[in-house]
Chain A
Amino acid sequence: MAPTGSAWHEGLSRVDRRVLFLAVAAAVALPLLFPLNLPIRISQEARAFHREMEGVAPGRVILLSFDYEPDTMAELDPMSLAVLRHAFGRGVRVVAMTTYAGGVGIAERILAQAAAEAGKSYGTDYAFLGYNPDYSATMLRIGESLRGAYPTDNYGRPTDELPLLQGVDRYAEIPLVVTISASALSEYWVIWAGGKYHARIIAGNTAIQAVLIYPFLQTGQLAGMLGGLKGAAEYERLVGRDGAGVRGMDAQSLAHFLIVLFILLGNLGYLLQRRVRARETRV
């Protein structure tokens, strides 16, 4: 039998999960419909990421790898789009690729959007090489020859004929490698492109992956990084063009506040129940 007067704190531990789902849904939906414009603090790692992009001279070619699939689009699409807007806005050219078969459609869509906004042409300002099986072998091969790793682009056009790639065939000729990654791919870029060929690398990662990537930033193996939707929002602010990252941050903050509240209430309920049980045992 439940102890008298304990019902309210027992209730704290027995909230129907559907109530929690509804509360989280409301906390996410409302700020998207009615933005709060909460402040966004820019982290050192996002500044480093931005600084590296700013350091690439106009006209040079950077390598952008879409290392993710549709399951993490919500977090990583804003980063990819912001990188392309930043690069195209500064006259930096981009050769893009993906290490995931599921990343082809994503890369095509975002490249087309950013190129249309900036009025960039395929083949001269940017190119998409597509998917190549075995990411490690691809990363290693680019160290010897990008055109060897990708004899044709994603649309079957020989890479030898792309004006963008004239004089660009190895990491040594690419000032910056940008990986937008949902998995351990950032680590593999560090190992193969960074360790073996001394490529300069910056990485945008999902929030879950970011914790594992921080050590590579601390050692300087990565020159900059973005973590999750917050990283995307910070970078959008630095680039000066708000996008889905900034728009999502109000919802992110409110939902985090709610989850912390749930955790506190759940623990409060647990502690009070324990106290009541201890008192009953003594009696």
Chain B
Amino acid sequence: MSATDAGVIVAAVLTLAIFSFLYRDNPFYRFAESLLVGVSAGYYVVHYFDSGVVHKFWVPVVQQKQFWLLPGGLLGLLMLARLWPRVQWISRFAIAFYVAAWSGYLIPSVLQERILKQVAGSLLPAAGSASLGAFLGAALVLCGVVAILVYFYFSAEHRGLAGRVSRVGILVLMLGFGASFGYTVMGRLSLLIGRFQFLFQDLPASLRHLSH
């Protein structure tokens, strides 16, 4: 029996153990769940240590003499101070540096890519649409955005025109949530399909290898 076939059979047994929860909680499910948590934790601890500490710090500093990485390593060590309540405050230096650096990086970029370009994307297509259909689609998006913004404007009471527009905003939001729910169903079903494909295709192939 090859290692791959053994792996497939173990994976199939564990898949069925997890599925057994759909009937009710049981020891097989709990065993499979605990195994998943334990194996995942072990895998990630080793991987993060190897890729982060060994390859990004130890090898460059100790073997390649890149001593300019030492301050970064020191900041990383300071984070470990959180483990001891009496010196926990030391970790704030590292957190402060990290927050400041990433705020500088993130705020302008996110503002530009997630907000300004999205605002432009909601406004401009309506003005420059090539066809009537494209114009109507873009105009619909623009109206929807405005209606939702009115719904989330809480400094004025939602009465009269503002009330009616905010009702439209709710409808647009509901459409968005509905689309999101539909996609969620598709995503979850895809996972089930993936498991069934594994049970119907990979498992029989491994069992055939065993019987030969």
Contacts and interface: CB of A to CB of B under 8 A. Distances in A.
Interface of A: 18, 21, 24-25, 28-29, 32-33, 71-75, 77, 101-102, 104, 130-133, 136, 140, 152, 187, 190-192, 194-196, 206-208, 210-211, 215, 218-221, 227-230, 244, 247-248, 251-252, 255-256, 259
Nearest to A259: B185
Contact of A190 (B113, B121, B189): B113
B183 A32 contact: no
A73 B196 contact: no
Interface in B86-128: 102, 105, 109-110, 112-114, 117-118, 120-121, 125
Contacts of B179: 211
A207 B181 CA distance: 10
B197 interface: yes
Which secondary structure dominates where chain A touches chain B? Answer: helix
B48 A133 contact: yes
Contacts of A208: 180, 183-184, 187
A256 B56 CA distance: 47
B196 A251 contact: yes
Given A207-B184, A219-B121, A255-B193, 17 more contacts: A28-B192, A29-B196, A29-B200, A32-B193, A74-B190, A75-B191, A130-B51, A191-B109, A194-B113, A196-B109, A207-B186, A215-B118, A219-B118, A229-B186, A244-B197, A248-B190, A251-B193
Interface string B149-188: 0000000000000000000000000001001100111110
Contacts of B51: 101, 130-133
Contacts of B52: 133
24 contacts: A18-B22, A18-B23, A25-B192, A28-B192, A72-B191, A74-B191, A74-B194, A75-B190, A136-B105, A152-B55, A191-B114, A192-B109, A194-B113, A206-B187, A208-B183, A215-B118, A219-B118, A220-B121, A228-B187, A228-B190, A229-B190, A252-B186, A255-B192, A259-B185
B84 interface: no
Contacts of A187: 114
A210 B182 CA distance: 11
Contact of A191 (B22, B113, B186): B113
B187 A207 contact: yes
A219 B183 contact: no
Contacts of B110: 191
B185 A256 contact: yes
* Interface size band for B: 35 or more
B1 to A, nearest CB: 20
B44 A101 contact: yes
Contacts of B68: none
A28 B193 contact: yes
A101 B47 contact: yes
Contact of A252 (B112, B114, B176, B189): B189
A28 B183 contact: no
Contacts of B183: 207-208, 210-211, 227-228
Highest count of chain B CB atoms <10 Å: which of A140, A227, A255 = A255
Top 8 closest pairs, chain A to chain B, by CB: A74-B194, A219-B121, A207-B187, A101-B47, A207-B186, A229-B190, A207-B183, A195-B113
A72 to B, nearest CB: 8
Contacts of A24: 189, 192
Nearest to B195: A74
Given A208-B183, A211-B179, A228-B183, A255 B189 contact: yes
B95 to A, nearest CB: 15
Contact of A230 (B44, B121, B186): B186
B194 A195 contact: no
A247 B187 contact: no
A179 B118 CA distance: 21
Contacts of B23: 18
Contacts of B120: 219
Contacts of A74: 190-191, 193-195, 197
A120 to B, nearest CB: 22
A29 B200 CA distance: 9
B29 to A, nearest CB: 14
